[in-house]
Amino acid sequence: MTVRPATADRPGVLGAISDYFFAHPHRFTILLLAPPLLWIGVVYIGSLFALLLQSFYSFDDFSGQVVREFTLSTYGKLFEEANLLVILRTVAMAAIVTLASAVIAFPIAYYAARYARGWKKALFYLAVMMPLWSSYLVKVYAWKLVLAKEGIITWLAGLTYLDGALSALLAMPVIGGPSLSFSYIGTFLVFVYIWLPYMILPVQAALERVPGSYLEASADLGADPGQTFRTVIFPLALPGIVAGSIFTFSLTLGDYIIPQIVGNSRYFIGQAVYTLQGTAGDIPLAAAFTVVPMLIMAVYLTIAKRMGAFDVL
Amino acid sequence: MSDAVRFENVSRHYGSVRAVDGVTLSIAPGEFFAMLGPSGSGKTTCLRLIAGFEQPDSGGIRIFGDDVGGVPPYKRNVNTVFQDYALFPHMTVGENVAYGLMIKGEARPDREAKAARSLDMVKLGGYGDRRPSQLSGGQRQRVALARALVNNPKVLLLDEPLGALDLKLREQMQEELKALQQLLGITFVFVTHDQSEALSMANRVAIFNDGKIVQAGTPADVYDKPASRFVANFVGSSNVLAPDAAARLGGLSKWTSLRPEKIAVVDPGAAAPADHFNASGTVRTLNYQGSVSRLTVECDGTSLVAAVPSASVAYKSGDRVQLVWPRSAMVTMDGEA
């Protein structure tokens, strides 16, 4: 009687390959990960590194050439008043947009996570996602018309005898302007509209993971709804809010189209980068400007982590 | 003294489903009360009505004499141990236990000391700084218990508290819960679908079916005198005899329960003692279960199960035997299934 071996090599090339990878699972993992890692490593990190390198060169105003020598003088230029104002303006706008998005997104996300079921939930996803399907430029130009002096908001204000209030709003220093579409208020409104879905979805996902029994437990232990919100719901939603704010904050920091179409003519970081790398050809300063949002995000995420925003993840 | 919990004809409907249908019950202070029933029988809804997570559609609920109609959970002096424990993942074990005290506004040193004592009580002293995610299921269960008890509730509600634990741990926790309840003297109300758990832990048991209480009493009462076919089948196992079969075996012509362990198996022709019934039949199956063995015996077209000590079993499948049981073991009951 012949004894069949407990293991036998399978026939064919495919069999041999699969036997080989079964015996060497790590090599299989490496093979699978190689293409995406190359993409991230070379295309993403590589280009970021090239950018970082550029920011340590300088620009010769006289010859209009990039001087390929290591210097910190380009970063020094960021601290000139005009450039510093661009940075401060952008960061302030990003912060306010993020805050407003979080405040508006939370109740929507909470309703969707806790109450919406069936078709209501489908409607929620549709309502949140549908604006993302249409062109960003179309939406921004649509907003320009909505906010224009001849637009629907001015018209509605006139109809409801609120034109006085609108004029008072536009007469406010800094945030006001000749019309909503030429003021920071307009820029702010469009930013919030455009980025809102990026805040709603992560917050909703975070709230979705909070079982109803946590809320019952906190009520059971004596917490009224306000206390439950502060001590249970909000801390558990925080990772979602932080995730959403990474989108709203960094997207606002880098955007150069919205402030160009809706707003006054003062630059945001994105516009500064766009102008510097274009006609001016000052790639080093443009690169240095680009590093600013990255640094700000790094600081922001570090603070968020310290605050325990990711503890529940 | 007023009842710890009193239900007066309480109903709770979800659409056309009568989750709780006209339940009246009273739970005495210091009692360990079990609500037993299959899933969907309304026992958990009753617990949630006491906690305040649900409001009755009709009827009244009193907790130590106070009408709690419309009173939200956070204003009731009862605490719950949840089935999934519901420990807050963003807090340490100590913070979880101290949560109720924090909400009440107790100073940090006071509540930390009380939380530590409460954790000691459930044998988790020194675990205060860990996260719930670092604990085993049994440990989480204890934390949930400590978190509820630290508030010194008038009634402690336990929703299938041991359901997720393995058998050994469950038996151990049953003993500990009983000891804890005696030590603290707090009224415990617990919900379970496990009849052996209810019988071994509770002073009194209410058996639920279809939103109604079908029988309430001490564990011995409901076990020895099941009021209906449903109870006889649900609490322990029983030979449930239809009226004609019961009459043939010597009983009354009514639905009758005969517990397997009341039946002795002897040689055919042996004389039955006084006040006993007997029946002869053939052993069909023999099911060894460790300390006892269950024999299925066919007697005149009626299958009877007898549970006898395994050591005394001298029969095998196909043997002719005689079954003997005391007359009192035949308990007549309501035919409702």
CB pairs under 8 A between A and B: 66
Chain B closest CA to A221's CA: distance in Å?
5
- Cβ separation B86–A308 shorter than 8 A: no
Cα A307 off chain centre by:
20
- Cβ separation A216–B73 shorter than 8 A: yes
Chain A closest CA to B163's CA: distance in Å?
16
pLDDT band, residue B2 (cuts 50/70/90): confident
For residue A313, pLDDT beyond 70: no
pLDDT at B252: 87
DSSP 8-state secondary structure symbol assigned to residue A312: T
User: Nearest Cβ partner of A235 from B73, B90, B104?
Assistant: B90
Long-range contacts of B64-73 (CB under 8 A, 24+ apart): B64/B2, B64/B3, B64/B4, B64/B29, B64/B154, B65/B2, B65/B3, B72/A219, B72/A224, B73/A216, B73/A219, B73/A220
CB-CB neighbors (< 8 A) of B99 in chain A: 218, 221, 223, 231
Q: How far apart are CA B285 and CA B306, in angstroms?
A: 11
The pTM (predicted TM-score) of the whole model is 0.82
* Structure token digits, residue A286: 């443009």
Q: How far apart are CA A261 and CA B296, in angstroms?
A: 87
- Cβ separation A220–B79 shorter than 8 A: yes
**Amino acid of residue A79:** F
Q: Please give the backbone phi and psi of residue A234, each rounded to the nearest 5 degrees, phi first.
A: -60, -50
Q: Which residue has the tokens 């979880």?
A: B96
Chain B closest CA to A243's CA: distance in Å?
17
A contact residues 7-66, partner B, Cβ 8 Å cutoff: none
What residues of B are in the A interface, CB distance below 8 Å?
51-53, 72-74, 78-80, 82-84, 86-90, 99-100, 102-104, 147-148, 151
CB atoms within 10 A of CB A36: 9
Stretch (H or E) spanning B139: helix B137-149
How far lies B8's CA from each of A221, B31, B227, in Å? 26, 19, 22
pLDDT digit string (tens) for B223-256? 999 999 999 989 988 999 999 999 888 888 899 9
pLDDT band, residue A7 (cuts 50/70/90): low
- Cβ separation A220–B74 shorter than 8 A: yes
Average pLDDT over residues B212-222: 94
Cβ proximity of B290 and B296 under 8 Å = no
Chain A closest CA to B46's CA: distance in Å?
15
For residue A306, pLDDT beyond 90: no
ipTM of the complex as predicted: 0.86
pLDDT digit string (tens) for A33-57? 999 999 988 888 998 898 889 899 9
Q: What is the CA radius of gyration of chain A?
A: 26
For residue A174, pLDDT beyond 70: yes
Q: Which residue has the tokens 């006071």?
A: B110
CB-CB neighbors (< 8 A) of A308 in chain B: 90
pLDDT band, residue B78 (cuts 50/70/90): very high
Q: How far apart are CA A102 and CA B8, in angstroms?
A: 47
pLDDT digit string (tens) for A233-256? 999 999 899 989 988 998 999 899
* Structure token digits, residue A254: 């880098």
User: Nearest Cβ partner of A220 from B73, B102, B104?
Assistant: B73
pLDDT digit string (tens) for A82-112? 999 999 999 999 999 999 999 999 999 999 9
**Amino acid of residue B325:** W
Lowest-pLDDT range of A173-177, B211-215, B240-244, B326-330? A173-177
For residue A269, pLDDT beyond 80: yes
Burial code of B149-171, b = ≥16 C-beta within 10 A, e = fewer? bbbebbbbbbbbbbeebeeeebe
Q: Closest-CA residue in chain B for A217? A: B86
Q: What is A133-153 written as a DSSP string?
A: HS-HHHHHHHHHHHHSTTSHH
Report the percentage of chain B scoring pLDDT > 70: 99
Q: Which residue has the tokens 């076919």?
A: B229
Chain A closest CA to B226's CA: distance in Å?
35
pLDDT band, residue A12 (cuts 50/70/90): confident
* Structure token digits, residue A46: 């590589």
Q: How far apart are CA B157 and CA B136, in angstroms?
A: 22
Q: Closest-CA residue in chain A for B50? A: A220
Average pLDDT score over chain A = 89
For residue A312, pLDDT beyond 60: no
DSSP 8-state secondary structure symbol assigned to residue B98: H
